[in-house]
Chain A
Amino acid sequence: MKIPQRKHIIKEFKGQGGKVAAVLPIHYPRALFRAFSILPVEVWGPPGIDSSYGGTHLQAYICSIVHNALSFLKTGGLDEADFILIPHTCDSLQGLGSVLIDFVRPPQQVLTLYLPRSKGKTDYEFLANEIRRIYNRLSEITGLHPDDTAIFKAIKIEENADRTLAELYSKRQMFTLDNLDFYRLIRTREFLPAEHFIDMAQSVLSLLNEEKLNGVPIILSGIVPEPMEVMSALNEMGACVVADDLACCGRRLYQSGSSTDPFQRLSENIFSAAPDPTRGDSLQDRIDYLKGLVNKSKAKGVIFYDVKFCEPELFDLPDLRKALKGEGVPSLTLEVDINDPISNQMLTRIETFMEVIK
C-alpha cells in the first residue's frame, strides 16, 4: 500500500490555489476549513525532531507533543501553512496558543477554538458560536464568504469520510494489513483531503480477506501512537491492534449530524465522538466505552500508551485499569516521550504483557 506523503499533498493542494492550516490536537471542524479551500494538516508533534527550539519558550515539564510542535514551527516545518489552529484541548495547548499569539508571533495567522467541557444544550450552542466566530475570522482574512450550501457540501464530504473511517475500523480484522500499515492508512485522515481519503480507503476495502487476521487482539489507548515503530514492535510480538481509544484515531470517529444549520451541524459532529477526557466526559463514560470496545473486538488486553506529562490521560489511568481488571481484562501502561526511540525496557514490558495475555 502506497501512502502519500504530506509534503506532496500540501504542494498539490497549494498548486491548485488552496491554502493550508496547521492544526494542533484534537477536535476541530474540518469541513469549515475545506469550505474556504483550506486544507487542515494536523500536527501531532511530529516525533523525532530537535525539540530544543521549543525549550526557549517552554519548560521541560511540558509534554513532547507541544514542545515538538513549537520546535517544528521555529525550524520552518510549518512554513507552508497559512494558518495555525490551536484547539483549546489542555493547559499545555492553551499555553502554546497564548505564547504564540503574545510572544512568538509567527507569520501565520494563529486561530484558537475553545471546546466546551460539558455536553448540555448551552455547550452545543456555545461551540456552534465558536465555529461561527472562526468562520467570520477566516472570512476577514481570506475575503471569501462561503454560503450555507458551500459549507454543507464540505460537511457532507467530511461526514462521508468519517463513515468510511468507521467502516475501516469495523472491518479491521478482515484486512491483511499489519498494525503499521493499518495505522499509516488511518492516520492519512490527518492530512489527506477527505475525497482522497475516501478513494484510498475504498480501494483497501475492496481487498477484504475472508479469513481473520492472525494475532492476539489488543486495544491501544492514549493520545498518539508515536513513534510509530511501536506498531512494528507489536507486529513482531504477534499482537493485532483490533480497536483503539487513541485521540488521533478512534476517539475521532465522528457521527453524521442532523441539524440544518451548518454551524450547529459542525458542533454536533464534534460532540458525537467517543468519550474524551479533554472534553470533560465522565470516567464512567470512558469505562463503559472501553469495556464496549473490548467486548466488541474480543480484545485480550489493553495497552495504555501515554505521552509523559499528559494530565488528561494520567488522571484517568488508575480507574480505567481498575475497571478493566474487574472485568478480567489485563492492561499495561507505557509512558513515552515522542522523541525517544522505543527502548529495550519498553519492548520487554510489551513482550511480557503479550506472554501473559496469550
Chain B
Amino acid sequence: MNIASHIKYFVNVQVGARSYIRLKRRQGARKPRIPLNWNTKCLAPPLKIDGLTKELIALHYLSGRYADGRKSVAWVTSGAPVEILQALGYYVLYPENHAAVCGVKRKVVEIAGEAENAGYSRDICSYARTDIGAMLSGKSAVGQLPKPDLLLACTNICQTVLHWYRVLAHHFDIPLITIDTPFIYTESSDADIKYVKRQLEDSIPVAEQACSRRLKYKKLQDVLKMSKDASELWLQIMQRGRHRPAPISAFDQFIQMAPIVEMRGKSATVDFYAALLREVDERIEKGIGAVVHERKRLLWDNLPIWYRLRYLAEYLGERGIAVVASTYTNAWGELAPFMDENRPIESMAKTYIHPILNRSTGSKLETMKKMSEDFHLNGVILHSDRSCKPYSIGQIDQRNKLIREYGIPALLLEADHNDPRSFSEEQTASRLDAFVEMLEN
C-alpha cells in the first residue's frame, strides 16, 4: 500500500468518479424519468431509486479499478461468507455479478468467445465462461477489473464455482480459500455446521496473511449486523409483493438485488434498501403496481435471463401478468434470521449452509409452494437454466408436483442465464402464449 496508489485512488475515485457521478446525476435529472422506449401502457415507470442503484454499482466498480496497491482485493462467489473479508477491509469483487452485468449489456457472446477460443467448452457455466474470457482478454462491460490477492469460493451454490476458482487460482497464482458446505439432502446436522464453522475459523489466518491485517472481532460483528439489517430490509421489500397490485416485480428485484449480493456488510447498502423500502411503500399507498393492469401473479424460479429481462417483463406485462416473486432473489433475504452478530462465526456457518441451492429438490418445491400461497400466485415459471445444473435438476418433478398435487399451473422454460445463443425468442413466445392461455382458463 504505497502513497502513490493512495493519491491515485483519491484522485480517481473520491474526486474523479464522484464528480462524474454527480455530473451524470445532473444530466439524468434533465432527462425524462421514463425512458422513451418504456412501455408505460403495461409497466409502471421505473423505480425512482434506479439512478442510485446505477451510481452505487458504478462507484463500486470504479473503486475496484483503482484498488490495486491501495486495498487488498478478493474475488468471491455470490453466496460466500464475505463478512470476514469486509471486516478485514478487502475490496470485494463478485465475478458472477460482473458476468451478469456483461449479460445485461449484451457483451457475453464476445467475451465468453475469448474463453471458448482458449479451449473452454460451451457446456460449462456461461458466467464462468464470461469471467474467464474477461480474465484472458481484459474485455469487460465495466472497465478494468482489479487483480485479486485472494479468492474465496463457497460451494453452497454449486460445485461449478470450485472448478472455476481453481482455474482462477492457477492463473493468478494466489491463495484460494474453499468453504465447503455439505449439501442438505434432508436436514443439516450439527456435524455439518461444525465443519463449516471450523473452515471459517481456518480461513481467517489465510485472509489476514493475504492482506497483512488482523481481524478485529468487533468489526466483524458490526459487518455482520449490517449484513443482517440489509438482508432483513431486502426480505421486507420482497414481501411487499404480497400486495395487490404488487408494487415491485421480480424483474425489478433482479436489478435491485445487486447491492445485497455484492455490497453486503456495508452501511451504504443498509441505507439503500431502507430507501427502496420507502419507495415501495409509497407505491403501495398510491396503489401503483409494477404491472399496470395486474390480473395474474406468478413466481419465477431459478436465475433470471439477464439479456431478456425487459422483453419478458413487457411480454408478460402486456398480458396483465405480474411476476411478483422469485426463489432466486428470495435467497438473499430468507437467511437473515440465521445471522447473529453475538455469535458471528457460528451464525455465519448456519447462514451459509442453508441457501436454497444447497437444499434438496424437495425443499425447493416446498419453498415454491409456500411462496405461491403467501403471495397468492396463479402459477410458476421454472427457468430450466442450461448453465445452472444444481438449480435446474429437479425442476421436471417440481413442475409435475406443482401441477398435479398442488393444482398450481407451472411452465418449464428452457434458456440460459447469460448466453443468448441458448435462447430462442420464438420458442419462448409460443411457450409463454400457451401458458398464458392456460392461466386464463
A25 CB to nearest B CB, Å: 14
Q: Is the interface of A mostly helix, strand, loop or mixed?
A: helix
> How far is it, in angstroms, between the C-alpha of A246 and the C-alpha of B297 when the chains are bound?
50
Residue contact B198 to A97, C-beta cutoff 8 Å: no
Q: Which residue of chain B lies nearest to A309 when distances are taken between CB atoms in the complex?
A: B123
With A311-B125, A318-B120 as contacts: A122 and B397 at CB distance below 8 Å: no
Residue contact B393 to A98, C-beta cutoff 8 Å: yes
Interface stretch among A37-45, A55-63, A197-205? A55-63
Residue contact A311 to B159, C-beta cutoff 8 Å: yes
Contact with B along A89-101 (1 / 0, CB 8 A): 0111011111101
Q: Which residue of chain A lies nearest to B416 when distances are taken between CB atoms in the complex?
A: A61
Question: With an 8 A cutoff between CB atoms, is B185 at the interface?
Answer: yes
Cβ of B209: which chain A residues have Cβ within 8 Å of it? none
Cβ of B361: which chain A residues have Cβ within 8 Å of it? 95, 98-99, 102-103
Residue contact A122 to B199, C-beta cutoff 8 Å: yes
A118 CB to nearest B CB, Å: 5
With A103-B401, A315-B128 as contacts: A98 and B362 at CB distance below 8 Å: yes
Residue contact B167 to A315, C-beta cutoff 8 Å: yes
Question: With an 8 A cutoff between CB atoms, is A262 at the interface?
Answer: no
Contact of A117 among B178, B192, B393, B394 (CB under 8 A): B178
Cβ of B360: which chain A residues have Cβ within 8 Å of it? 98, 101-102
Chain B interface category by residue count: 35 or more
Residue contact B167 to A98, C-beta cutoff 8 Å: no
Number of interface residues of A (CB under 8 A): 48
Residue contact B180 to A92, C-beta cutoff 8 Å: no
Contact of A284 among B170, B390, B397 (CB under 8 A): B170
Contact with A along B97-140 (1 / 0, CB 8 A): 00000000000000000000011110111001000000000000
Cβ of A98: which chain B residues have Cβ within 8 Å of it? 183, 185, 360-362, 393-394
With A92-B389, A95-B394, A102-B360 as contacts: A61 and B123 at CB distance below 8 Å: yes
With A103-B361, A315-B124 as contacts: A92 and B393 at CB distance below 8 Å: yes
**Residues of A that sit less than 8 Å from B by CB:** 56-59, 61-62, 88, 90-92, 94-99, 101-103, 112, 114, 116-118, 120, 122-123, 126, 129, 133, 277-278, 280, 282-284, 308-309, 311-312, 314-319, 321, 335
In the assembled complex, 29 residue pairs joining A and B whose CB atoms fall closer than 8 Å, in A order, are: A58-B393, A59-B386, A59-B396, A61-B386, A62-B393, A88-B182, A91-B158, A91-B159, A95-B361, A95-B393, A98-B183, A98-B394, A101-B186, A102-B360, A103-B401, A112-B185, A114-B182, A116-B180, A117-B155, A117-B159, A280-B178, A282-B169, A283-B169, A284-B170, A314-B120, A315-B120, A316-B167, A318-B118, A335-B121
